[in-house]
Structure 1
């Protein structure tokens, strides 16, 4: 008599091909912060004024907090509702890369900042009311939300909440400054693009199984959550960018990415802002391609890992009814 106590994962029999294509995309994109020559940006850093340096430190502190939540809480919250074994494997990959992202900011800090400055950044990060509010809002959903609500929280974090922090390095990249720091951000954006579309796709599978009344309830909850997060994000953006005079441009960027998050979830955009409204210097930098160079010699500031294409918004939104 034979029986199955535990089922071995079989990659030769994949139930959902999106799991396989996502695994392949993520492994093709693999990178580590230790391969980016951050010290090459020190000349640019020394020429920046105090307000610019302070802004960079604070935005990266905030990004570290968000990636810590995503690595420690998000995947653990989503994992119990996996549809396939292959989905769980993909989530394992995502969780590891979120830890890589969180660590990469510390590599930036150790290159650009003194120990005292780093301690000050983390003290600010761990006590700032706006950062802590979005951390609490997202993490409480991971703790107590439904399976679909947890996926919404993750997509909102990946595709919306990170972008107040991403704006500054992308802006500097467009002005030929901090190219290697910005390269790390571009690599993170490339990963987050896959994470957001993949988890959004899994959300849509579950959403389409709901009754109409349940769909309407979920949709209302989702938009209410986004309104609350955006209101907090406006205050956070004012705190970060008022001194530089960039606040309104950053808010436009946030609204554009909030729409992208909704689209990942198969929903209609909320705000009128489009790519044409975003500062073109930043849109140039947001391209998910990286500089092409020799991985082993560390020449340049990207990875040569075969032909890795940039992620498109519609890569996984196939065969789904919004």
Structure 2
């Protein structure tokens, strides 16, 4: 009886086929952070000052974001790992998978600080049954499970660079109004991660896309815009269900369209919508660009972790090249 032996190959970071693998690895590790180092409890006075409508909105958008981060960590990276071009790319996906789990856990840290156990149970019950939230998660996961490698990367970029932003709008709006700054600190760290994730995965898509025929490219391009618009139609309904009561719906839709265009740019495609950064609420853009408190999250565990300090968001945070 003969046994087939698997030949294992050690990853060699001294021989890099794609320099963007190395640069992205360095960027994502430099940006490492943990939710437990952010003093969310300092926002309790702000939380108590919010109306019940505002509190419910925060709870629901964070519940939705928890679901999407869970999907990305459990299924998204598993799908992308099936078509890696280099072992270093797989290592980057391993890091992304871990950070998506950190993101998902971060919302529970916010809930445990701001909410009662009964309220937390209600948040997750709403999250796990909301029809629009479940539909978009289902649409993305269907692609992860049955789509081509091209489609899987497209779905991942749409999730990272577009679908999260209906939820991000709320904490950025409050930050722009000088409320919940520590909660917003968590969100800005997540946004900083997601911007790199979306850019990197979009870059990997473009490498393979540029290797196929023009006819094949046109077929994929048609699928991209059709899938994005289907996601957008559902996202509009989700946004209306969240924001109609508070009166922010139209502003959030602008923010969604702006980020949908950013997702397309990550994939190398032209924008679908006319909206630009100038059209987005200046309060939200101010919240996105406001300098952080530069918490030294890791001072309790030694200077070796000082690389985790938070920096202000800037345009360069969306670039890894």
- Residue 192 of structure 1 is aligned with which of 188, 191, 194? 194
- 1:269 is paired with a residue of what secondary structure? coil
Report the RMSD for the aligned CA atoms in angstroms. 1.8
Tell me how many residue pairs correspond in the alignment. 311
Q: C-alpha deviations, 1:71-124, integer Å up to 9, x for none?
A: 000000010100001000000000000000000000000001111111111001
Matched ranges for 1:256-267 at <5 A: 256-267=258-269
1:312 aligns with 2:316: yes
- 1:196 is paired with a residue of what secondary structure? helix
Match of 2:178 in 1: 176
Stretch deviating more after TM superposition (256-265 or 307-316): 307-316
Q: C-alpha deviations, 1:231-272, integer Å up to 9, x for none?
A: 000000001001110000000000000000000000000000
Distance 1:30 1:139 in 2: 27
Distance 1:66 1:51 in 2: 23
- Residue 146 of structure 1 is aligned with which of 126, 130, 148? 148
User: Retained in 2: the 8 A contact 1:187–1:290?
Assistant: no
- Residue 17 of structure 1 is aligned with which of 14, 19, 27? 19
- Residue 129 of structure 1 is aligned with which of 125, 131, 135? 131
User: Retained in 2: the 8 A contact 1:69–1:139?
Assistant: yes
Distance 2:153 2:193 in 1: 17
Distance 1:276 1:231 in 2: 23
Post-superposition shift, 1:314?
Answer: 6.6
- Residue 283 of structure 1 is aligned with which of 277, 282, 285? 285
Matched ranges for 1:224-263 at <5 A: 224-263=226-265
Gaps of 5+ in 1: 318-322
User: Retained in 2: the 8 A contact 1:94–1:195?
Assistant: yes
Moved over 4 A (4+): 306-311
Post-superposition shift, 1:4?
Answer: 8.7
Distance 2:209 2:67 in 1: 29
- 1:305 is paired with a residue of what secondary structure? helix
Post-superposition shift, 1:30?
Answer: 0.1
1:310–1:9 CA distance, 2 compared to 1 (3 A): farther
Length-normalised TM-score, structure 1:
0.93
Length-normalised TM-score, structure 2:
0.93
Match of 1:50 in 2: 52
- 2:231 is paired with a residue of what secondary structure? helix
User: Retained in 2: the 8 A contact 1:160–1:258?
Assistant: yes
User: Retained in 2: the 8 A contact 1:26–1:191?
Assistant: yes
Post-superposition shift, 1:281?
Answer: 1.2
- 1:167 is paired with a residue of what secondary structure? helix
Q: C-alpha deviations, 1:258-298, integer Å up to 9, x for none?
A: 00000000000000000000001111222396432323358
User: Retained in 2: the 8 A contact 1:264–1:313?
Assistant: no
- Residue 203 of structure 1 is aligned with which of 202, 205, 221? 205
Stretch deviating more after TM superposition (278-287 or 121-130): 278-287
1:60 aligns with 2:84: no
Distance 2:129 2:318 in 1: 38
User: Retained in 2: the 8 A contact 1:252–1:278?
Assistant: yes
User: Retained in 2: the 8 A contact 1:159–1:258?
Assistant: yes
Distance 1:200 1:82 in 2: 13
